[in-house]
Every structure is written in structure tokens, then in C-alpha cells.
Amino acid sequence: MSKLIRMDHTGHSTLAEWTADDPAAVDAAVTAFRAELERGYLAMVTTGPGHAAQVRELPLDAPLVILRLPISGG
Amino acid sequence: MSAEQALAPGLDVLPETASVHWRPRVDEARLRRLGALWTLTTVAHVVPFLGAAVALMALNPLSLPVALACIAHAWVIPELYAQRGANVVRPRTRAADGPERRAAGLLGDLVGHDARDLHADTSLVLEPGRLGVWLVGEAGALLLAGRGGRRAYCYCVTVDGRVAGASELPSGDRVAHLLLALRADEQGFATVANLSFSGARWRLRRRVRPAMRPAIDAAVASLDRRSSSRA
């Protein structure tokens, strides 16, 4: 089961869960994913130990997709 | 769509770098230059005061109090800079226990066992990088680089406060935001962040909270292990 989570004031919220063989869940996850990107969130997946990458489309085979806010110099 | 297909061209560069487009991208050479510039600035602050103290004593030993004041200035100014650097990892206001626990759980999933323990003890996450070894906090990161990690770079960087919800994030999530950005593009991360201090590690170590000092020691040990494995 793959998960789309958003880091927020609750610690994190699970926005969608899906498996590749469940089209309805995939559609819901893609819709939620795009809505969060529209809000300004950036989507990240872990690509190996100590490595992460940004994605612009929902990677259906990723076990975990994390939505984060942009960073800036303080 | 697979994870590989989702990685669109150009996404290996942190998108936030667009907001600081005038800054040269930080690489090892630029990092060394920045460090040298900080050293030069420190010398430029210290030497005139020490010179003035010597000159005053040579002219008239009765000016000892003023000479001592000059020496104090020469000592205090680098200390103030180091304090400014240490402040980037000063803990911020914590959220309620529930969100903090959930955020710490997610952060724990992102890092290894040792880094998780170190974070629990020091509030800093140790993350090896190409530029050196990073210690990531809630609103900033320390980079130990150079031979044996003798030079520290203190970066002030945080979740963009202009975005709604940024100020309400639990501390673990703030660290996770920085960690994911760092892992995605280390050079971009160092470019976006504001350099608050660069100088001797020992100077910084004295200024960070005692509870955080083991994280600096662990980063040095990590660098030593890396050097040994390369040799």
C-alpha cells in the first residue's frame, strides 16, 4: 500500500492510500496530489539511503510520497 | 507512473534556488572561498584592536585599561559571530505533544537508527553529504567540512514563513523539511540558505548548547570514518 502524506500542524496527514491495481484509489490519490501541488506543496520521494528527489507526477510505485513546503534562507 | 518517470528533467535542482537566482551555486570551491572570506573578515576585526592595544602600551603604560578594553573587543567580536552561528540550531517553540510525536515518528522513518538516537538526544539530525557532514536543526543547519571537519559553516534556513501553515509545524516536521531538501539537492540547499557564520569548529562548539555538542562530536567522528575508508 502506497501513501501520500503531507507534513502539517498535526505532525502529518495521510491524504491518500493506494495500490496500483485499484484504479479508484489511484484516481483519488492523483487528484489529492495535484491539489496539494496547486497549493504550493512540493512532492518528495526517497530514492535511496540519504537521497530524495522531487516529483511533479504521482509515482504510483513509490511506497511513500511526502509533501513539504518550500524552504528559504532565514 | 513510476518513480523514475515522475522525476522530470531539471528537478534535481532545488526549485527554491530560483528565489535566489543572483547567488552563485555553492560547490566545494565556493565553500572554501566563503570560509577564507570569513577568516579574513575576522582577522580584519581582531588585528586592529590588538594593534591598538600594543601601540597604546608602547606609548604609555598608563593606558593599560584602554589597551585591555581593546583586547576584550578583539576577543568578543569573533565570539559574537560564533554565537550568531550557534543560534541557527537553537530550538524553537514546540507544538503540542501529539503533533510532535507524529512528526518525530515520520522523521525517524527518514533517518537511520543512529541518526534517530542522536536527534532524540541533541535535536539535530546528522546527514553525510558531499560538501561535508551536516547537522540539521529546526531552523538551520551546521556543515562541518575541510580536513577533519575543522571548519564549521552555519546556515540559517527554514520552512518559508510566508506560506500558510509554516509557523505551526512541529519541530520534527521542520527538520524533515530541511532534510528532504538537503537530500534532494545539497548544493542548492547551501545556496538557498543564508550563511550566518563560518569559522573554527572549536569556536562554534563552545557556543552551542551543551546538549547539542555530542552531535558535533558525532559529525567529526563521521568525517574521520570517511577519511579512514578513503585512505
Specify the pLDDT at position B6: 60
Q: Please report how many Cα atoms fall inside a 13 Å half-sphere around the Cα of residue A48, on the Cβ side.
A: 2
Specify the pLDDT at position A20: 87
Specify the pLDDT at position B149: 92
Q: Is A50 on the interface with B (CB under 8 A)?
A: yes
Specify the pLDDT at position B148: 87
One pLDDT digit (tens) per residue for chain B, 231 residues: 665 666 555 568 999 999 999 999 999 999 999 999 999 999 999 999 999 999 999 999 999 999 999 999 999 999 999 999 999 999 888 888 899 999 999 999 999 899 999 999 999 999 999 999 999 999 999 999 988 899 999 999 999 877 767 778 999 999 999 999 999 999 999 999 999 999 999 999 999 999 999 999 999 999 999 888 876
| CB neighbour list of residue B163: distance below 8 Å, 6 or more residues apart | A40, A69, A70
Residues of A in contact with B163 (CB under 8 A): 40, 69-70
Look up the pTM and report it.
Answer: 0.92
* Helix intervals (H) in chain B: 3-6, 28-59, 64-86, 97-110, 113-122, 171-184, 186-192, 201-207, 213-230
Residues of A in contact with B189 (CB under 8 A): 71
Residues of A in contact with B11 (CB under 8 A): 53-56
Chain A: residue nearest B125 by CA? A50
Specify the pLDDT at position B2: 63
CA B221 – CA B217 distance, rounded (Å): 6
Residue A17 amino acid letter: E
ipTM of this model?
A: 0.95
User: What is the least distance, in Å, from the CA of B45 to any CA of chain A?
Assistant: 25
Is B7 in contact with A11 (Cβ distance < 8 A)?
Answer: no
Under 8 Å between Cβ of B115 and B176: no
The string of pLDDT tens digits covering residues A17-67 is: 999 899 999 999 999 999 999 999 999 999 988 999 999 999 999 999 999
Chain A: residue nearest B129 by CA? A50
Chain A: residue nearest B4 by CA? A59
In chain B, positions 33-52, which contact chain A (CB-CB < 8 Å)?
Answer: none
Chain A: residue nearest B96 by CA? A10
- Long-range contacts, B185-188 (Cβ 8 Å, 24+): B185/B12, B185/B13, B185/B14, B185/B17, B186/B129, B186/B130, B186/B131, B187/B25, B187/B26, B187/B27, B187/B131, B188/B13, B188/B14, B188/B16, B188/B17, B188/B25
